[in-house]
């Protein structure tokens, strides 16, 4: 740790120590009026509801770091509760995100989570957080220890700083509670898909000390000829309440991902390219392929309620990600000397090490100024991100499209002009504030802003940069009745350019205007949300056809989103989402490499953004009977997608059906999930405009759940 970094973090450690020593400090309680007691919760304790879910989304902390009802927020926040993705036997965050309007889901070459929010992809525009703490890119995020997935749509830099230019996905993890129990889950399905997980909790008799252990192992042989993959994870957490106003928490997590890269099957044809007419299990990956990710997360929380409505909190965090990936990239199908079609390939060799060290110091206050009530969050975040990577491109022999016979042999010859490397260090100091102002039961406003002071250097590329960016959020909520709320908001976001950007590096920026309405009906048994937005970004860093990243893009998305949850009758639950997205590359110049060092520039301005279907429709209907039997049916429709900025090739529209049967008795249950019930053939993201990955066909997964102890 450098001297400059020590100067920043030592005061934070000192503040943490003060919080630890604070249990003996008491302040005289002051009288408050009856409205003040509901303004700021004492602790962010986990609440696990075992009864039937309420149609309204659970409260979310994604927009304010405080649990606020979704209907009271001036922005669009989707909440996917645990019971929903458990019904769907979801394993990774991408499975849960299929329940969110305006979010398209795939994987990054089969080795990490990839999603698109409002037409912008997660690599260049999104941010994943665990309990409010940012994650380095990229990895799979298993759901074994997650109790709720929250999606804040639109620019989110007002609270989270750089990178969430189009949205943020927050994983709210399970934490220790004052109970003793153990839940075991065992699952198996087609293609050797398996899972085993443990959720155990123990607490002292007075509930002041609690320990929770979540652990999981899962994997699949895959239906395509690429090999098997697996995730192993463990997450022990400890919470101590020295008194009723103090909470200390210690958290560690290790996740190991081992997955085979997959760039799919190439497109063939020039005018109307289609996926090559080969078996959908066909693979053109080389024997050199393999991807290994190891993620370590350390968290320390100290929280003290100084007085009623006044809480001081400190989070110290460290995340380390190591990623070694050698993946074959399909670069197209071309006629060979004898007229046969050959698949061109290259090998991407990545060695990446990321370290994120940071601290969040926050003060929550609930108070009044005249007739206006405030829920105020004031904080400062200090973070240091180190990213050391080497990326090379190797040559591989072409392989026959129809009868692939592998001829690649070691050693792999690399092409130095295509190699990239970086050794960057980003130091950020960021004060932020969010204030919820309640003028009356019908009118409230949200004001938020974050100032990011960035000190960036990359020794390998001889780059140094300092910048200061202020990103605000302004929002208004008007509730003409207790059942209806109307909202409007405007906000901006910014992010430092990727370390892989070649040439001048300018901050990426975005802004969004949104209006919407949220309604409860059927005597509280129904909830509906509607949002209209205009989202724009500038200086987008998009990899061109050579794999080099340049800031040659601007993009605009306009759309409409609808969310609906109804309990029409006892035991019934209906959830539906719809999104219309019009996402356009308003400026995009792609550099196409010819015979090195020659190249040409192709203008794709006006094209549709990749993986931004105009229509996304989803529904999940379930019925729970008194005897413990449960039935569910799900539908997902995705309209046509363009797979690259050149709009040369596309993925056809598709509709899939899922079904589930469950039986629950006391402390055990059995679920059987039928995925892609109609065996629909469809594709997902491959590599650039060259290929697409055939999605999994019909499969059955069974899950046995056993519970012990007292919930």
So what's the pLDDT on residue 542?
59
* 336-368: pLDDT as tens digits: 888 899 999 999 999 999 999 999 999 999 999
- pLDDT over 70 at 325, yes or no: yes
Give me the domains of the chain, ranges plus CATH numbers. Answer: 3-23+66-710 (2.40.170.20)
Say if CB 108 and CB 226 are below 8 A apart.
Answer: no
- pLDDT over 60 at 252, yes or no: yes
Q: How many CB atoms lie within 10 A of CB 279?
A: 12
Residue located via tokens 């999605």: 695
The rounded mean pLDDT for the chain is: 88
Name residue 299's beta-bridge partners: 251, 317
Name the band, by pLDDT with cuts 50, 70 and 90, for residue 3: very low
H or E stretch including 699?
strand 699-710
Opening angle at CA 295, ends 294 and 301, nearest 5:
160
Say if CB 170 and CB 77 are below 8 A apart.
Answer: no
Q: Considering only CA atoms, which of 219, 303, 297, 215 is closest in space to residue 260?
A: 219
Q: How many CB atoms lie within 10 A of CB 126?
A: 25
So what's the pLDDT on residue 499?
56
Name residue 616's beta-bridge partners: 579, 638
Q: CA 172, CA 153: separation in Å to the nearest integer?
A: 16
Say if CB 430 and CB 381 are below 8 A apart.
Answer: yes
pLDDT mean over 70-98: 94
Name the band, by pLDDT with cuts 50, 70 and 90, for residue 498: low
Say if CB 228 and CB 257 are below 8 A apart.
Answer: no
Least confident among 366-370, 438-442, 542-546: 542-546
**Integer angstrom CA distances of residue 709 from 93, 200, 668:** 28, 9, 12
Residues listed for the chain: 711
671 is written with which tokens? 């679920």
Q: Which backbone phi and psi does 4 adopt, to 5 degrees?
A: -65, -40
Least confident among 17-21, 328-332, 542-546: 17-21
Name the band, by pLDDT with cuts 50, 70 and 90, for residue 4: very low
So what's the pLDDT on residue 673?
96
Name the band, by pLDDT with cuts 50, 70 and 90, for residue 33: very low
Name the band, by pLDDT with cuts 50, 70 and 90, for residue 538: confident
Q: How many CB atoms lie within 10 A of CB 543?
A: 16
User: What is the C-alpha R_g of the chain?
Assistant: 25
H or E stretch including 3?
helix 3-20
- Between residues 138 and 369, which one has the greater pLDDT? 369
Q: Which backbone phi and psi does 13 adopt, to 5 degrees?
A: -65, -35
Q: CA 389, CA 322: separation in Å to the nearest integer?
A: 10
358 is written with which tokens? 């940071």
Say if CB 380 and CB 432 are below 8 A apart.
Answer: yes
So what's the pLDDT on residue 451?
97
Q: Render 243-261 in DSSP notation, one character per residue.
A: STTEEEEEEEEEEEEEE--
So what's the pLDDT on residue 599?
65
Q: Strand 615-624 to strand 508-521: parallel, antiparallel, or no bridges (unpaired)?
A: unpaired
Least confident among 88-97, 303-312, 596-605: 596-605
Q: CA 172, CA 149: separation in Å to the nearest integer?
A: 6
- pLDDT over 70 at 503, yes or no: no
Q: CA 552, CA 503: separation in Å to the nearest integer?
A: 11
- pLDDT over 60 at 10, yes or no: no
So what's the pLDDT on residue 663?
96
Q: CA 53, CA 10: separation in Å to the nearest integer?
A: 45
- pLDDT over 60 at 31, yes or no: no
Q: Dihedral (C-alpha) 189, 192, 193, 196: value to the nearest 10 degrees?
A: 90
So what's the pLDDT on residue 152?
97
Q: Which backbone phi and psi does 686 adopt, to 5 degrees?
A: -115, -120
Burial class (CB in 10 A: 0-12, 13-18, 19+), 244: exposed
So what's the pLDDT on residue 686?
92
462 is written with which tokens? 């001889």
- pLDDT over 90 at 54, yes or no: no
- pLDDT over 50 at 56, yes or no: yes
So what's the pLDDT on residue 272?
87
- Of the chain, the percentage scoring pLDDT greater than 90 comes to 75
């Amino acid at each position: 740790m450098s001297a400059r970094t020590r100067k920043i973090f030592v005061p934070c450690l000192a503040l943490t120590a003060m919080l630890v020593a604070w249990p003996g400090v008491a302040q005289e309680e002051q009288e408050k009026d009856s409205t003040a007691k509901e303004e700021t919760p004492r602790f962010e304790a986990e609440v696990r509801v075992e009864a039937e879910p309420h149609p309204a989304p659970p409260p979310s902390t994604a927009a304010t770091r405080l649990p606020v009802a979704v209907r009271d927020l001036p922005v669009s926040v989707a909440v996917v509760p645990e019971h929903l993705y458990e019904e769907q036997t979801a394993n990774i965050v991408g499975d849960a995100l299929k329940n969110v309007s305006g979010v398209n889901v795939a994987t990054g070459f089969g080795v990490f989570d990839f999603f698109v929010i409002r037409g912008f992809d997660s690599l260049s525009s999104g941010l994943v957080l665990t309990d409010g703490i940012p994650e380095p890119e990229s990895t799979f995020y298993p759901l074994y220890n997650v109790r709720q997935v929250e999606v804040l749509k639109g620019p989110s830099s007002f609270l989270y700083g750089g990178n969430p230019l189009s949205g943020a996905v927050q994983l709210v993890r399970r934490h220790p509670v004052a109970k003793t129990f153990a839940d075991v889950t065992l699952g198996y399905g087609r293609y050797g898909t398996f899972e085993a997980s443990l959720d155990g909790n123990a607490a002292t008799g007075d509930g002041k000390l609690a320990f929770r252990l979540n652990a999981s192992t899962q994997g699949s042989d895959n239906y395509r000829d690429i090999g098997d993959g697996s995730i192993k994870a463990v997450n022990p957490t400890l919470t101590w309440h020295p008194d009723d106003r103090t909470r200390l928490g210690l958290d560690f997590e290790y996740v190991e991902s081992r997955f085979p890269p997959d760039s799919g099957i190439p497109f063939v044809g020039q005018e109307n390219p289609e996926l090559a007419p080969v078996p959908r299990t066909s693979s053109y990956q080389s024997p050199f392929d393999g991807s290994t990710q190891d993620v370590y997360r350390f968290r320390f929380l100290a929280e003290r309620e100084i007085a009623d409505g006044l809480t001081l909190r400190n989070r110290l965090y460290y995340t380390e990600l190591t990623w070694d990936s050698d993946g074959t990239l399909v670069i197209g199908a071309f006629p060979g000397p004898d007229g046969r079609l050959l698949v061109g390939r290259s090998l991407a060799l990545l060695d990446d090490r990321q370290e994120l060290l940071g601290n969040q110091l926050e003060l929550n206050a609930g108070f009044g100024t005249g007739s206006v009530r405030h829920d105020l969050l004031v904080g400062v975040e200090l973070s240091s991100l180190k990213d050391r990577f080497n990326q090379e491109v190797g040559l591989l022999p072409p392989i026959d499209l129809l009868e692939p016979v592998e001829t690649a042999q070691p050693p792999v010859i690399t092409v130095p002009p295509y190699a990239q490397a970086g050794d960057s260090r980003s130091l950020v100091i960021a004060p932020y504030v969010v204030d919820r102002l309640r003028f009356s039961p019908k009118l409230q406003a949200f004001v938020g802003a974050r100032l990011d002071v960035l000190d960036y250097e990359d020794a390998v590329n001889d780059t140094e940069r300092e910048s200061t960016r202020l990103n605000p959020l302004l929002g208004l909520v008007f509730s003409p009745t207790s059942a209806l709320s109307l909202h409007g908001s405007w906000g901006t976001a910014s992010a430092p350019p990727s370390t892989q950007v070649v040439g001048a590096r300018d901050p990426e920026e975005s802004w969004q205007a949104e209006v919407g309405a949220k309604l409860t009906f059927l005597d509280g048994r129904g909830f509906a949300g509607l949002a209209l937005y205009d989202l724009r970004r500038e200086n987008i860093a998009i990899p061109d056809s050579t794999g080099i990243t340049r800031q040659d893009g601007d993009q605009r998305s306009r759309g409409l989103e609808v969310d609906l949850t109804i309990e029409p009758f006892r035991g019934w639950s209906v959830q539906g989402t719809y999104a219309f997205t019009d996402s356009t590359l308003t400026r995009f110049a792609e550099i196409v490499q010819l015979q090195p060092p020659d190249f040409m520039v192709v203008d794709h301005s006006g094209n549709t953004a990749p993986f931004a279907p105009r229509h996304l429709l989803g529904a999940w209907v379930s019925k729970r009977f008194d005897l413990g039997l449960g039935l569910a049916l799900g539908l997902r429709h995705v309209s046509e997608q363009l797979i690259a900025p050149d709009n040369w090739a596309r993925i056809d529209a598709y509709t899939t059906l899922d079904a589930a049967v469950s039986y629950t008795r006391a402390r055990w249950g059995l679920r059987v999930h039928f995925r892609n019930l109609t065996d629909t053939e469809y594709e997902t993201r491959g590599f650039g405009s060259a290929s697409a990955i055939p999605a999994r066909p019909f499969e059955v997964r069974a899950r046995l759940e056993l519970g012990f102890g007292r919930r």
